Copies of this chain bind each other. A is one copy, B any other.
Amino acid sequence: MNTKSENKSENKPENKNQSKNQNSKTQSSKTQNAISPTRAENYPEWYQEIVKAADLADQSPVRGCMVIRPWGYAIWENIQRTLDKRFKETGHQNAYFPLFIPKSFLEKEAEHVEGFAKECAVVTHHRLEKGPDGGLIPAGPLSEPYIVRPTSETIIGAMFAKWIRSYRDLPLLINQWANVVRWEMRTRPFLRTAEFLWQEGHTVHATAEDAREETMKMLHVYRTFCEEQMAIPIIIGEKTSSERFPGADNTYSMEPMMQDRKALQAGTSHFLGQNFAKVQDIMFLDQNGKQVHAWTTSWGVSTRLIGALAMTHADDNGMIVPPRIAPTHVVIIPMLNKAGTENEVLEYCHSLCKELREKTYNVGSGANSTVQVEVDMRDLRGGEKVWSWIKKGAPICMEVGPRDVSNRAVFFNRRDNDPSQKTSMSRDEFVTNIANILDDIQKNLFDRALKFQKENTKVIDSKEEFYKFFTPKNSEQPEIHGGFAYTHWCGDPSVEEKVKADLGVTIRCIPIDYNFENSDGPGTCPFTGRPSERRVIFAKSY
């Protein structure tokens, strides 16, 4: 294997801000990035550019709603497929419930409606008709307004109450893939949109223990999925009461660290106790012939995971999609700039594509997939194609020219490396090793993200250090701060309020299976001096 840096002239990214970035690079042969601004220059804008440049999503004319473009949607389809397999392996079945929730249903659980009332899309009419000025106006008022589901506990619970008769019907383990709407005021593609796609699991159990076990099981399914498929290192833990799901007894979440050192809540699992069962009469005849209330859970992840993927792995040249979740593993780009060689180059590309497509690759969760390969036949220059795939983040981007044909070689960039770093290899070696190369990229991405998370997590034992940790060093880059603080907390909500008001920092979770730098165990809360059972994760967050 021969790794070398090359700088083909046709490989220049199209950079709108060329002059601006030229001085900030240290590499000699490649002096600019495909994405502007860079992460260091302006992280939030960099994220918006990534979403656009990688063909993940586009803004729509509908307030707060995005369009998920084909590459972004193909990633979502892979997320769906692999998660769905894990749900089914743990005994869940899919079903589909109405988009609309009668207002009275939402109102049954007091905390629940309180939590969602401010962001409801309300359907009030069921037709349009000609108004006095000739334009169409809403007509046919509904006797009871419908809310476009922000989450489905109440409508699904109503059906559960109808379906469940006896302990023999339990556990009832249902999942729904659906769109939901929460009318957020400030939106950002994937991270916070008025409409988003998600799955919501809803389960019913005969005992509190069973429901608690389910809550934790699904949290672990999420973590395993994120770590194994998406190469995103996850800290799981319980939320404090201030960040609990409206109507839940306990909320647990996944909290990966993004590249701006903020936490992103990437999925939640709720133990709902008997709160919904009681207001919705979800009851069953137990083994002693007694009618009792059931125990329920709910859990969900959404298209937000695509935001997490981008902010974990993408770099200043574009998206990086881990192989196990990538819609395309290998892109083959025919370099047709030498007259008379076109046919042999194309033939080589297509036969290589065919050969690679017959190889299988373990995409995690015990599932094999054939290697996904594409020959990019678009009517564009080779260099434009190369950069479009670097920006999309396909794991391996290969350029095939006449020299590769005569040497029976391949020449490619691994997207976990810098675009300038390309490898030449014999075609046979590449084909034989493709699964290993993909595995290696997957592992490298996870290791890199875990290293970043650890480097930016700190055990903090004094209030002063805590405040310093979260204060940006440079006022021009207010995004850059310490990261995760692993700090004692006495349990007093007023501490949470204070650090939130002062620093915009919250407790992300009380972690589970986490013992950073072996600093676990009881201690003293640096904010109050009172005893603390254990450390928690403080961070800024999305």
Contact = CB atoms under 8 A, between A and B. Distances in A.
A103 B67 contact: no
Kindly name the residue among A125, A126, A179 whose own CB sees the greatest number of chain B CB atoms within 10 A: A126
Nearest to A138: B122
A154 to B, nearest CB: 10
Given A60-B98, A62-B102, A159-B67, A122 B117 contact: no
A260 to B, nearest CB: 27
Interface string A57-99: 0101110011111100110110000000000000001111111
A102 B117 CA distance: 22
A127 B136 contact: no
Given A65-B98, A155-B62, A148 B136 contact: no
Contacts of A140: 183
A107 interface: yes
A122 B123 contact: yes
Nearest to A168: B379
How large, as a class, is the contact surface on chain A? Answer: 35 or more
Given A58-B159, A60-B159, A103-B136, A95 B69 contact: yes
Number of copies: 2
B62 A101 contact: yes
A102 B61 contact: yes
B127 A117 contact: yes
A129 interface: yes
A121 interface: yes
Given A119-B127, A126-B119, A148 B99 contact: yes
B58 A100 contact: no
A93 B77 CA distance: 11
A97 B61 CA distance: 10
B129 A121 contact: no
A174 B113 CA distance: 38
Nearest to A193: B98
Nearest to A380: B168
A126 B147 CA distance: 9
Contacts of A124: 122-125, 138
A145 interface: yes
Contacts of A127: 117-120, 122, 183
A98 B148 contact: no
A52 to B, nearest CB: 12
Interface string A136-177: 101010000111100000010011001100001000001000
B125 A122 contact: yes
Interface string A423-461: 000000000000000000000000000000000000000
A272 interface: no
A126 B195 contact: no
Contacts of A100: 62, 65, 121, 195
Nearest to A195: B99
A360 to B, nearest CB: 14
A94 B119 contact: no
A336 interface: no
Kindly name the residue among A58, A118, A136, A147 whose own CB sees the greatest number of chain B CB atoms within 10 A: A136
Given A61-B158, A122-B124, 13 more contacts: A67-B95, A70-B93, A96-B197, A98-B195, A99-B148, A99-B179, A106-B128, A107-B136, A113-B128, A117-B128, A122-B126, A124-B125, A168-B380
23 contacts: A58-B163, A60-B97, A66-B98, A70-B93, A74-B93, A76-B96, A99-B148, A99-B195, A100-B195, A107-B135, A107-B136, A117-B128, A117-B129, A119-B126, A120-B125, A120-B127, A120-B128, A122-B123, A123-B123, A125-B145, A128-B147, A138-B145, A168-B380
